[in-house]
Amino acid sequence: MEGNHRGNLGLAWASLGELRKAIGFYEQALVIACEIGDRRGEGADRGNLGLAWADLGEPCKAIGFYEQQLAIVREIGDRRGEAIASLNLALALETLGDPVTARGHMQQALALFESLESPHAETARDWLARHP
């Protein structure tokens, strides 16, 4: 529970725009998740770190965390997590000027969101329509 609470504190700080504080809490949560072997928590913490770094204008750092998250959620069979990680990875890759790789990840995200009947499918569909 301590790891979850630290992750939630990170989310709270991020919502207040205090991204560096949020990163500190996400890192603490990640250490705990790794220590106890909580792969789902580890994936979530890596995804949150990616979001924070992306918001700080550091897409390269964000991509590293998204790729780690993607590997974990695939390993544990978390299709929703895989869709979200793929979407976030696509957005970061677009920022870096890699539209071809970004499009591939967004197509994966769309397929997963559609299979899950998620409303996020519309976001992926819209992005793909704007990036032919």
Q: What are 95-106's pLDDT values in tens digits?
A: 999 999 999 999
Low-confidence ranges of the chain (pLDDT < 50): none
Q: Is 47 exposed, middle or buried (0-12, 13-18, 19+ CB in 10 A)?
A: buried
Question: How far is the C-alpha of 13 from the C-alpha of 19, rounded, in Å?
Answer: 7
pLDDT of residue 132: 84
Whether the full predicted model's pTM is greater than 0.95, yes or no, is no
pLDDT of residue 103: 97
Which homologous superfamily does the CATH classification assign to the domain defined by 1-65?
Answer: Tetratricopeptide repeat domain (1.25.40.10)
Residues in the chain: 132
Q: Taking the domains of the chain in order of start, what are their residue ranges?
A: 1-65, 78-132
Residues 48/57, Cβ–Cβ less than 8 Å: no
Percent of the chain clearing pLDDT 70 (strictly above): 100
Q: How many CA atoms lie within 13 A of 37 on its CB side?
A: 0
